[in-house]
Amino acid sequence: MSQLHIAGGHLSFTHDGKPRQLFDDINLSITKGESLVLLGASGCGKSTLLNVFAGFQALDKGQVILDHQPVTSPSGQRAVVFQDDALLPWLNTLHNVEIGLKIQGFAKAQRQQLAYDYLELVGLEAHAQQPIQKLSGGQRQRLGLARALAVKPDFLLLDEPFGALDALTREKMQALLLTIWKETGVGVLLITHSVDEALLLATYLCVLHGPPTTIIDRAQPSFARRFLKGETVRNIKADPEFSVARQQLLDQLLEVI
């Protein structure tokens, strides 16, 4: 099974002429077919770790390894979805999904069909020719997911992609992400500061504190797999077991703030 791994990661920066450590000897793995969620307060280093996994940020010491090979730059194997959707405003919905396929050298007819297939996967097929300025926030995030998935990555890296959405749209997007994970088998790394979101979407959950970034707990919640077996998000969140786990995580986070 394909695996993406930070091994012995060290990273620091200089502030006011003094070195400041971001993290020291971090070890983290994402396995294809699993969902790793990094949970922690703003500023604890979650997004920096995602940037390291993506190849946007080099380590001072240590390595990022994909299937026993060092990672030194971004690649289509690791697609990234940001909170700011970063769509191209001069392209319509379909063409935004096509862009990665065009870079990969797909012929026009093939990339159009593939782009439409991924718009269908996220429920945007009826908006294929629409200017992105006319899409809602939730639709724009769906489009970001379709664009990332179209290049068929092994790993999907998401940096708080639902943070700006209203509660109802956010829950719908969480269910969509679980469905995509089930249907594609992609490995997921999700960054969030939402306890509910972390519990629902993680098969592996790391609780972070920092800076310097420290992993203060690791867990394997069962709720994402329950969704894959047919339970609804609404039923899972209403389960007393979910409430107990939520309170335990909140207590843990409040202790270190």
Sketch the domain layout of the chain as residue ranges: 3-77+154-256, 83-152
Per-residue pLDDT, 192: 94
Q: How far is CA 6 from CA 2, 41, 75, 113, 212, in A?
A: 14, 21, 16, 36, 16
- Mean pLDDT over 134-148 rounds to 92
Q: Looking at per-residue confidence, does 36 or 103 come out higher?
A: 36
Q: For residue range 92-105, list pLDDT tens digits in order.
A: 999 999 988 888 88
Q: Using an 8 Å Cβ cutoff, are 86 and 68 in contact?
A: no
Q: Using an 8 Å Cβ cutoff, are 35 and 174 in contact?
A: no
Tokens found for residue 153: 């990555």
Q: For the whole model, what pTM was predicted? A: 0.92
pLDDT exceeds 80 at position 15: no
CATH class of 3-77+154-256: alpha beta
Q: Is 142 helix (H, G, I), strand (E, B) or coil?
A: helix
